[in-house]
Structure 1
């Protein structure tokens, strides 16, 4: 028993040392003290008597919350505050300290709460938060009522239509048209950066000169779903990079020689005021919209169609450029895992939607498979003889 105890003590000691090395002594010490305090509080206050105020304290000081990314912490804290305010209103209580955990985590109550949101993605996020909260604050109850809670926190998604992508002829015309007009060089560079890297418009407009690495063919970007201070790298093809360099050399010729390097690198690539502030997302959307309206290769009925999230929508928008990047990468034989990384998708499922656009090609591929060939049947008959 002594040897076993010493072994456990050694493992705990090594684990704590590892945590201190990764997160720092002060952070680890703070968490341990919080754990001790919460443990003492739980002993004084049984779970069935825990109030929502207690639950909030436990959750916000838990390892579960501590290990979330900063953006997720902000989102979950907002969801928590909304849930608590909703509970006070529905139960007609002035304080969350007078509301029991069990009052608001009954499956029927949760189902009604989630049901008030119309958007499926909002519902899914709320459900994810509620599961996280309950599993952290009251894991025994969650396990006991798991089947009922699973039904209460279930979200159904309507199968969305495949994203709309430009044809190659349409892309070629858009690029040709982008050169025309007073802002032709800028618009041409915008399209090439979008087509050549697949980045989102939100990443494009925040791009600074110092974010471009010409040798490594990369862009340092702000990406959806990541913390602002987290460095995300997107790749860009050589042709797009060459056009971008021509635009920068022309637009910022004065700044390259007159400004200190650090100040020059901090200029926004696409701007209306000489790099001081970024071009707005709306401005880029208007650029793409006007090009689509001018393009003869795009049918008139598509141009007139308003943006819609309904299945079968033919609407072309700026995000169609990103879709086109993914679709033609798939078509050229790039595997979906590589495309997922190029698009900086947090999940492979986000990339899989592009497979719908290649359904006709997938059907063709399966028909061209050797096992679908009549010659294979003849071979089989020969073997049977």
Structure 2
């Protein structure tokens, strides 16, 4: 007996297919149908060819499945700025939604993208930042417009920049660290600034991980909880402190917030931000911390304690070194490795996802290489003694 066809409301199938398209996108849906033996022979929607750059920009920032929606808030701010700049370059005002009807397909060519990335005056780091944005942008808005081969060609011909020349390690010597710590004690909010430097040095955390609260600090076990990098909803993870950093942190919290225990509940006390400019109500901004550190570094450069140019023997010339808050993280890693700490432990302490990120810190100072060579067994031998090792001279 033949099966009776269920009496379905009109357009139910179309509605369900449209829901799947909205949820997974056309490319993914076609792949899944292909695994079931269903081939899509109909040409892609010709309306996609008419999508404007302005429409694509709004889609990138507003579509719930766009790359933009999956990154951290700090990255979202950067992506939005890059979207605005990209539109402006081609005569489209993103903020006022004023468009010259520039089609997306018209700007997604190696030549046009190359012109955008090679604008005069752009620093190499800025070009790389823009190229990374464009890869995410194209992946989110052009999958129904360009083939996989075309996207790969754009990545290869226009968005694949040459790797930068290796830079010297942006870390401080022990003498420079001591000088910066001393300088910080002469600034406004000296104890707070002094403690910030100690925490950067004694944990290796990033500047945007300094936004922790009193409840995130465990002085007995010597760790703090910070928001991990790389996620939109960042989970808090442990970062361990050296004994020196733990002691400075303890003194600072007691001096700054001890009196709050008499007026706040335990819950409100624990919610106070450790580094703040308004009695713990909000965290000190990245910019405020960076400006404070930059002021210390600039003073050290003026007093010739820090040189902002170093000799690069590989290039045979002096190169400029840009010191910043991140230099304390470099210092933490470099001195940890120099002390003999296992690189995999350093990786975990820094919160790196891959060991490759940690390996960049193997680029030590020249004097550290020399000290390491002095520990080599051959360094303790006279030339005539080498003959006993079977080494011909």
In 1, Cα distance between the equivalents of 2:340 and 2:23? Answer: 52
Contact 2:176 2:306 (C-alpha < 8 Å) held by counterparts: no
Shift of 1:341: 3.1
In structure 2, the CA distance between the partners of 1:190 and 1:378, relative to structure 1 (3 Å rule), is same
**Ranges in structure 2 where 5+ consecutive residues have no aligned partner:** 1-15, 31-39, 310-316
Contact 1:302 1:316 (C-alpha < 8 Å) held by counterparts: no
Alignment of 1:22-171 (within 5 A): 32-34=20-22, 38=26, 43=43, 45-46=45-46, 49-52=49-52, 61=63, 65=67, 68-71=70-73, 72=75, 75-76=78-79, 78-80=81-83, 82-89=85-92, 95=99, 99-116=102-119, 118-135=122-139, 137-138=143-144, 141-144=147-150, 146-147=152-153, 149-159=155-165, 161-171=167-177
* Equivalent position of 2:364 in the other structure: 357
Residue aligned with 2:332, SS: helix
Alpha-carbon deviations, 1:59-98, whole Å to 9, x = none? 66585638832445564455445434544559xx9757x5
Residue aligned with 1:156, SS: coil
Contact 1:219 1:233 (C-alpha < 8 Å) held by counterparts: yes
In structure 2, the CA distance between the partners of 1:29 and 1:247, relative to structure 1 (3 Å rule), is farther
In structure 2, the CA distance between the partners of 1:148 and 1:331, relative to structure 1 (3 Å rule), is same
Shift of 1:264: 0.5
* Equivalent position of 1:20 in the other structure: none
Alignment of 1:114-263 (within 5 A): 114-116=117-119, 118-135=122-139, 137-138=143-144, 141-144=147-150, 146-147=152-153, 149-159=155-165, 161-172=167-178, 174-175=180-181, 185-204=191-210, 206-222=211-227, 225-227=230-232, 229-263=234-268
Contact 1:189 1:244 (C-alpha < 8 Å) held by counterparts: yes
Contact 2:105 2:145 (C-alpha < 8 Å) held by counterparts: no
In 2, Cα distance between the equivalents of 1:194 and 1:51? Answer: 47
Q: When the two structures are superposed, what TM-score results if normalisation uses the length of structure 1?
A: 0.67
Shift of 1:207: 2.7
The alignment yields a C-alpha RMSD, in angstroms, of 4.8
- The answer to whether structure 1 residue 276 and structure 2 residue 281 are counterparts is yes
In 2, Cα distance between the equivalents of 1:237 and 1:150? Answer: 45
In 2, Cα distance between the equivalents of 1:268 and 1:148? Answer: 46
Shift of 1:198: 1.9
In 1, Cα distance between the equivalents of 2:323 and 2:25? Answer: 56
Contact 1:162 1:354 (C-alpha < 8 Å) held by counterparts: no
In structure 2, the CA distance between the partners of 1:381 and 1:207, relative to structure 1 (3 Å rule), is closer
Query: In the alignment, which of 324, 338, 341 is matched to residue 334 of structure 1?
Result: 341
**Ranges in structure 1 where 5+ consecutive residues have no aligned partner:** 1-27
Contact 2:274 2:280 (C-alpha < 8 Å) held by counterparts: yes
* Equivalent position of 2:11 in the other structure: none
Q: When the two structures are superposed, what TM-score results if normalisation uses the length of structure 2?
A: 0.66
Query: In the alignment, which of 303, 307, 310 is matched to residue 300 of structure 1?
Result: 303
Contact 1:58 1:137 (C-alpha < 8 Å) held by counterparts: no
Residue aligned with 2:238, SS: strand
Moved more, 267-276 or 252-261: 267-276
In structure 2, the CA distance between the partners of 1:57 and 1:175, relative to structure 1 (3 Å rule), is closer
Shift of 1:265: 0.9
Query: In the alignment, which of 324, 327, 337 is matched to residue 320 of structure 1?
Result: 327
Alpha-carbon deviations, 1:156-206, whole Å to 9, x = none? 3542532343333443455567667885544443332222112234433x2
Shift of 1:209: 0.9
In 1, Cα distance between the equivalents of 2:188 and 2:151? Answer: 65
In 2, Cα distance between the equivalents of 1:287 and 1:144? Answer: 47
